[in-house]
């Protein structure tokens, strides 16, 4: 993979939360990486990234491209409540109204993507506490039973 990955900040989001365009690889702030490491998370990859402002030409280097390693089928499908759409799906794109994680299936990982719904990143309570202690802005954590998606 060519590095650094190039991202362009949106010129229409002046003064608003940062928006960017670039490779289809998620970004993570360096302070969040520190919090994950402090919590003991080690199943992720980082790649150099540059975020460029198209108006000023200024570059930001406080983010990395990020990949979570670990796709784990840890949802208890009998106890979780599925949304009434796409009910035939069992993996990748299941929509939940309420999620129950089977802790015996997490393989001891502190963070992983949920195999049944890959847009969900599941984190252990220890990770949540480390991120909150670090004071990383913009992080929102949901209890599994409150998660919908």
Identify which of 148, 24, 142 has the alpha carbon closest to the alpha carbon of residue 94: 148
The pLDDT of residue 113 is 94
The pLDDT of residue 13 is 55
Q: Walk along the chain (149 residues) and give the pLDDT tens digit of each residue.
A: 778 999 888 766 555 445 565 667 888 999 999 999 999 999 999 999 998 888 888 999 999 999 999 899 999 999 999 888 766 777 788 888 899 999 999 999 999 999 999 988 999 999 999 999 999 888 899 988 887 77
CA distances to 74, 95, 120 from 144, rounded to whole Å, are 11, 13, 10
Is 55 in a helix, a strand, or coil? coil
Residue 56 CA to residue 24 CA, distance in Å, equals 24
The pLDDT of residue 42 is 96
Contact 41, 66 (CB under 8 A): no
Residue 37 CA to residue 71 CA, distance in Å, equals 19
pTM of the model as a whole: 0.83
């Amino acid at each position: 993979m060519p590095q650094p990955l190039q991202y362009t900040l949106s010129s229409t989001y002046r003064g608003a939360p940062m928006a960017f365009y670039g490779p289809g690889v998620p970004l993570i702030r360096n302070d969040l990486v520190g919090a994950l490491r402090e919590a003991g998370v080690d199943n992720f990859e980082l790649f150099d990234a540059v975020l460029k402002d198209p108006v000023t030409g200024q570059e930001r280097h406080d983010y990395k491209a990020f990949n979570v390693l670990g796709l784990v089928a840890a949802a208890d499908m009998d106890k979780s409540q599925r949304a009434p759409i796409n009910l035939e799906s069992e993996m990748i794109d299941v929509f939940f109204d309420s999620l129950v994680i089977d802790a015996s299936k997490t393989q001891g990982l502190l963070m992983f993507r949920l195999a049944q719904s890959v847009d969900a990143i599941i984190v252990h309570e220890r990770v949540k506490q480390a991120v909150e202690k670090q004071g990383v802005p913009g992080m929102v954590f949901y209890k599994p039973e409150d998660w919908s998606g």
